[in-house]
Structure 1
Amino acid sequence: MAPDFAKAMSLIDAAHAEDPKRIPIQTDTDGCSSPPAVSTDANPIRNRNPDPLDSHSSDPDAGEAATSTIPYELHYARKMTAYLQQHTAQASGLLSVAVRAQHLRRWEIPRSSYPDGRRGYLAWRTFLKKRQGALARDMCLEAGFTTHEADRVASLIAKEGLKMKKKKKTGQGQGQGEGEGEGEGGDEDDDDDDDDDDDDDDEVQILEDVACLVFLDDQFDAFERGIGDEDKILAILRKTWAKMGPRGRELALAMRMSGRARELVEKALAGDAYNDGGGGGGGAAAAAGAAVCRRAAVPGREGKRHLHWPI
């Protein structure tokens, strides 16, 4: 029996819709809560409802409130899907499901449930990845996936097989960029590094790119205000850049950002510590990108800029 991708997505979105934290639906042209429509003719999930809010009787605030607010994790999941479609238009169904389930029921395990400090933070993140993968695996099995397919979704969510480069190539070790926010960008722990090139997984890299893009687009401004330490923010941005592949970097450099975010990204990519030849060739590209950023920021809507940097 073929896996029912539409059912898996519906189960995942129904869980997201139970997140008690709600945010206003943004109806501007950025489409933050309502991503732009993307053709899905080549996508095995093409038959699912394009608007998850239309199909959730389990939404605790269904009705009038659902037209003006959205559960945060459903918003996050939709952003993840929108960036996946921009990044890899013909992504596999298993990757599409894993991307959608990236933060599955995450609100149930807050950061405060683990001790303060880096050790507590890493333990929290490790547990979240395993738990989210296990929950998604159960939903996939309910939707008719084989055990192998469901295990693959869980493996993607846990980011198994990802060859991280931040310590080897950027020279950044522990103690730099260890932000304890809840984004998926530069605050990822360093203990996931895998030095075996043969274990690198292209689909895991795509998921990592997408998570970093959502962090930069949807979470970075609030994250930066919460940290309040520019040096630490710059280290986090460099780590985020080092974690991304070429396509992810291309999308990041074309992203619409606030003026403050643009300033910080320019500093991060132009910094001497970053441009020392590391980052898998990213240093030279970052230097060129920062220079173009200074020359070619195109005014957008009030308070925003489009960044056009070469990779």
Structure 2
Amino acid sequence: MMNHLPLVSLIIPTYNRAHLIGQTLDSVLVQTYTNWECIVVDDGSSDDTEKVLQIYQKKDTRFVYYNRPLDTLKGASSSRNYGLQKATGAYVIFLDSDDLLLDYCLLNRVKVVLENLSCDFWVFPMYIERGEERSLVSIPYNDDYLIDFLSCNLYWQTMCTMWKLEFVRSIGGFNPEYPRLNDPEIHIKALIQSKGNYLVCNNTVPDSVYRETPIKDKALFVKNYLSALHVFIPDISGRLVAACKTEQRYFLRGYLEHYMKDFKHNTTWRQMVNLFGVFYACRVIGFIEYYSRLSKYLGAKLFRVIFKMIKH
């Protein structure tokens, strides 16, 4: 009977996760919905990832293993896009190599999809796991989730979305030039293009687990986040203008607020000045706000330098 139901393609990018990816693959294996294919794309691992995948391929031929082509950019986004090229299912779910699906996930999602076939994509709640604790991430009701994503209010992660294959291909998948902010990028593109033709299942039981891991190399994390903002803000600003949503560029300042709150002390003053310039150039902030923010930031920076000199 399952063979008459739609094929779901699960796409997993991975890099040196031989010690973790087995848990993700096990969560796929126990799905009560059986008409799936699982495409794992290796981003150039140097550990035993290939050996682990060979074991799973022997267990189940629905697992498919590829290496990311060398003529594509390194990164999870390129790997996801390559998996998207190889997908043969009617619907697609992207997983990270440490995400988990609960055993009813695919069955639950396919049922919702078949009852709402006209949608471009469907979003389902998740649990977030921090250490040994697992908690529900609720998705509030909203008339326009685009505003949330533009404002850096991200209520769901990559694996929460089930995509219609032709739709996610039509928006170009993920932008491989983004070292971070991959989730906001693809969802903002989707929310703009779908024009409300999507379904957020606020009240359904969470069916996936996002495992939050501590930042191991904060300097690298901040560097990648900063680089991503330099691409993300002009890219999304341009898309909003093209979609006649110019006034919504205002909401993108949420990403500046988030960066300043958590990472400004890990950033040089030159980098911060350049970042302010990006938001100003894209008309996310105006002339007066630009110089106000710049003056406050540089004034506070100078005060800390003088205070340290006096203390010394």
Rg larger for: 2
> After TM superposition, is the score higher than 0.5?
no
More strand by proportion, 1 or 2? 2
TM-score range, shorter chain: 0.3 to 0.5
Higher relative contact order (CA 8 A, sep 6+): 2
More helix by proportion, 1 or 2? 1
- After TM superposition, the score normalised by the length of structure 1 is 0.34
- After TM superposition, the score normalised by the length of structure 2 is 0.34
